[in-house]
């Protein structure tokens, strides 16, 4: 296979030279004194059409054009290192293995579920809300022993074959409990010390669907609190090779007295941490005590939170949710100031193995977010 690809590229570059087409180049530099592996870079301004991305040694890299016109591809760089990548036009689109993907599942009360090679997530839709079930936050599905998409098969097996996805059949399972909480890092509003939840999305638009990035825009139905109508919109992106979703939340009609928050439910008093830059929690799998490992839930805030706290659930809500409190980070915002943060999960039966390793991964991710890869795009003639 490798020799066939080499021959393919040799023929391609020969034809390129004959046509006197000048390839474009992208210089990428790592400003950190630590290596970065398989990090997705964004290159704006690349002309429309199909492009191949390869290293200077001729290695073909997977790539993707995003809904907003950027070209994505993965890079690996040593500490303080840099590299040059070649972009060449092609008339024929190239197919790559899909890593990040998702869809709406109307057959499962309008769930929207998405995944990459490490983990899967879902948010709940209008059919669930019509049923009366109260599930507000983000759900997590564990993955192990595979980098391939698993969500489609899990839904099919659950709905068509009666094979539950709440049991590990070899590549992970759904062992996280959401219920009437913010789950694994959803947003809510704080008013006079009381948490106001969203419910299910009203509209869902999938903007990117692999192979390297999944992006969805969720619009939530208007909610009226004390005569104030508020509409919430979320833009969620999950790239390949990271356990964290990038999420930007904006509000229409948000007025004085309402504070946006990011929250993670705690089902017990296990290991956790709240700082202005991150939330972390070691969650027992559901049901607990069944040898299913530990879930690690987290949220990252490149712009520090104004305040973090443990917000207890009222006794009745705690009983219904099977939980004790939320880890909360507050972000006082005006209606025109979107909130961007990251949230995600790991699993001790896959990676990372311990809460300490989960916290170390969070800190490493924050360092990369604060010192993004430097990308310079140079057009050929």
pLDDT surpassing 80 at residue 192: yes
pLDDT surpassing 50 at residue 35: yes
pLDDT class for 19, splitting at 50, 70, 90?
Answer: very low
pLDDT surpassing 50 at residue 7: no
Q: Give the three-class secondary structure for 116.
A: coil
pLDDT surpassing 60 at residue 33: yes
What string of DSSP letters covers 140-185?
EEE--S--S--HHHHHHHHHHS---TTS-SSS-------SSS-BEE
Beta carbons within 10 angstroms of residue 172's beta carbon? 23
CB 221 within 8 A of CB 202: yes
pLDDT at 48: 94
* Of 38-47, 225-234, 343-352, the least confident: 225-234
Strands across the sheet with 139-142, in order? 101-105, 111-115, 119-123, 139-142
CA atoms within a 13 Å half-sphere pointing along the CA-CB vector of 32:
17
pLDDT surpassing 80 at residue 193: yes
pLDDT surpassing 70 at residue 91: yes
Strands across the sheet with 374-378, in order? 60-61, 50-55, 82-90, 24-29, 374-378
CB 52 within 8 A of CB 225: no
pLDDT surpassing 50 at residue 10: no
pLDDT class for 20, splitting at 50, 70, 90?
Answer: low
pLDDT at 335: 57
Report d(CA 254, CA 247) in Å as an integer: 18
Q: Give the three-class secondary structure for 108.
A: helix
pLDDT at 337: 87
Beta bridge partners of 296: 282, 346
pLDDT at 264: 98
Q: What are phi and psi of 288, to 5 degrees?
A: -70, 160
CB 248 within 8 A of CB 68: no
CB 261 within 8 A of CB 189: yes
């Amino acid at each position: 296979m490798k020799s066939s690809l080499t021959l393919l590229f040799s023929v391609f570059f020969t034809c390129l030279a004959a046509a006197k087409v000048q390839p474009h180049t992208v210089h990428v530099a790592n400003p950190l004194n630590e290596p970065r592996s398989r990090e997705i870079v964004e290159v704006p301004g690349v002309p429309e059409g199909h492009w191949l991305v390869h290293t200077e040694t001729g290695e073909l890299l997977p790539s993707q054009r995003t809904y907003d016109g950027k070209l994505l591809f993965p890079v690996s760089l040593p500490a303080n290192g840099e590299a040059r990548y070649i972009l060449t036009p092609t008339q024929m689109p190239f197919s790559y293995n899909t890593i990040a993907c998702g869809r709406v599942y109307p057959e499962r009360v309008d769930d929207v579920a998405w995944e990459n090679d490490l983990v899967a997530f879902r948010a709940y839709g209008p059919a669930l809300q019509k049923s009366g079930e109260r599930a507000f936050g983000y759900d997590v599905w564990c993955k192990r022993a595979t980098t391939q998409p698993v969500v489609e098969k899990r839904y099919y097996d659950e709905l068509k074959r009666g094979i539950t996805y709440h049991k590990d059949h070899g590549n992970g399972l759904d062992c996280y409990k959401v219920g009437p909480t913010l789950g694994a890092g959803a947003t809510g509003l704080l008013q006079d010390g009381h948490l106001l939840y969203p419910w299910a999305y009203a509209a869902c638009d999938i903007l990117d669907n692999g192979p390297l990035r999944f992006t969805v825009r969720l619009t939530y139905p208007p909610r009226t609190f004390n005569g104030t109508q508020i509409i919430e919109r979320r833009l969620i992106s999950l790239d390949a090779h990271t356990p964290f979703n990038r999420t930007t939340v904006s509000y229409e009609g948000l007025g004085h007295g309402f504070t946006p928050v990011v929250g993670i439910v705690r089902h017990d008093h296990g290991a956790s941490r709240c700082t202005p830059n991150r939330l972390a929690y070691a969650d027992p799998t559901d049901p607990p005590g069944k040898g299913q490992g530990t879930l690690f839930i987290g949220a990252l805030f490149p712009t520090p939170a104004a305040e973090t706290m443990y917000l207890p659930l009222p006794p009745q809500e705690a009983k219904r949710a099977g939980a004790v409190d939320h880890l909360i980070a507050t972000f006082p915002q005006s209606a025109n100031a979107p909130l961007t943060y990251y949230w995600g999960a790991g699993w001790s039966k896959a990676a990372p193995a311990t809460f300490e390793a989960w916290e170390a991964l969070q800190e490493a991710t924050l360092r990369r977010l604060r010192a993004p890869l430097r990308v310079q795009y140079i057009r050929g003639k």
